[in-house]
Structure 1
């Protein structure tokens, strides 16, 4: 028996491909597929750039106050493998009576983090994605605070081979209940299923609200994940 067949049988046995009627053509580099372990593995790199975990309570928020440090408009963290950008939002003076003296207004901004996943590069193969269409699962956790009624936005796209054609998309922008201050991690998740043929890439993007006013406060996210799962 040739080595290629051995690796194919190894993958079929470990992941029960035959029992699930999953296409396993001979043209696939099964040794490479096996080494990359594409199923139930987080395909995002550096999923916790703030060094935090949702299994532990978020750290206490910094107390506002005057300081000698220059104003900051971006969160602190190790954002390797992420593409980041900051969008400063217009000052909001609504609700302030005419003629009132204004000392400080909050300066809000969105901090955007995005990452691209090449599904074929992660060990998946064309026939699997087009015929069987495994579940593509998204998970994320963001910090609930009283900073603003809108703290977090998520946008995930399943893209074609050209990395531009959107085959399916999921977006969410929750509104917070500011009557309660629980300061906890809130989970956001979604499962893509039956998305049709042609999916080759996943684009993951989330936006986190920040505020600068006599200090800086940023919403944090952690344990972001893109996982491919075979259906039971």
Structure 2
């Protein structure tokens, strides 16, 4: 670090104050442990232009002053503002802006191939009844215009699942146990207008032995024949689930209720599992 300071032109001699009134400083360590003291607002601006993981893992270890700035709420609040990470409800203020920032930055759908664009890739077939799973275009427009395909069930029970390894997705055990971020689950499902059908979903939070810690398994949803075939959304948020969560198992499916050959059962698409902040669910 000292070699880098010399390269920048900093030596043991006093640095002349600039015309803007910045106080003179030296490159030597100060009594309180500050290695390269700078006005806090300048240091904060420097940190705002560095990769966030370097600020946390490297910069905050340099000296007391750098740690103070790296841990400050103002730094992470400004970083959220610049990168447009907004809360759903602006009246709610995060308890920890740094945590809020990193959760927002990593937030994404942890389920792969949620709309069937890659056929059945990434999905484990649990049941494949009737004429088996099929992928088709939409019968009714989806609220999300980007969604153009869906999975379709048949006259026998069809269920499929994905297992999410949280550590592989970047959420280490310490983070999950200490902060227990909210886990938001959502799924879109729709019937055919001319055939009755049923829809089921089950989401489990699992520990390292893949034993159930928490579970969401609502009652089966039934649709009568001659319906409006519109899309419905199932949403659930896991909160305060305790330590030990290492995997998430998502499973859904259904069938038609009239035993018609072909693919007249429930349609599913747009499935989503996200790690998100408490103020953004």
TM bin (shorter chain): 0.5 to 0.7
| Counterpart contact for 2:255–2:265, Cα < 8 Å | yes
- Give the CA RMSD over aligned residues: 3.4
- Pair 1:151-2:151 in alignment: no
1:208 to 247, 250, 254: 254
Structure 1: gaps spanning 5 or more residues: 24-33, 52-76, 90-106
Q: CA deviation at 1:191?
A: 0.2
Equivalence map 1:53-202=2 (5 Å):
78-86=119-127, 88=129, 108-145=155-192, 147-148=195-196, 150-163=197-210, 165-178=211-224, 181-202=227-248
Structure with greater strand share of residues:
1
| Counterpart contact for 1:38–1:122, Cα < 8 Å | no
TM-score between the two structures when normalised by the length of structure 1: 0.63
Equivalence map 1:13-92=2 (5 Å):
13=76, 20=96, 39-49=106-116, 51=117, 78-86=119-127, 88=129
Structure with greater helix share of residues:
2
Instruction: Indicate the structure (1 or 2) with the bigger Cα radius of gyration.
Output: 2
Cα distance change on mapping 1:179 and 1:226 into 2, 3 Å: same
2:136: which partner in 1? none
Structure 2: gaps spanning 5 or more residues: 2-50, 60-69, 86-93, 131-153
1:8: which partner in 2? 56
| Counterpart contact for 2:124–2:160, Cα < 8 Å | yes
Cα distance change on mapping 1:213 and 1:230 into 2, 3 Å: closer
Tell me how far apart the structure 2 counterparts of residues 221 and 228 of structure 1 sit (CA, whole Å). 22
**Following superposition, which runs of at least 4 residues in structure 1 exceed 4 angstroms of deviation?**
9-12
SS at match of 1:176: strand
SS at match of 1:218: coil
**Greater RCO, CA 8 A, separation 6+:** 1
**For each residue in 1:196-218, what CA deviation from the matched residue of structure 2 results, as whole angstroms up to 9, or x when unmatched?**
00001000000221465354423
Cα distance change on mapping 1:206 and 1:177 into 2, 3 Å: closer
SS at match of 1:227: strand
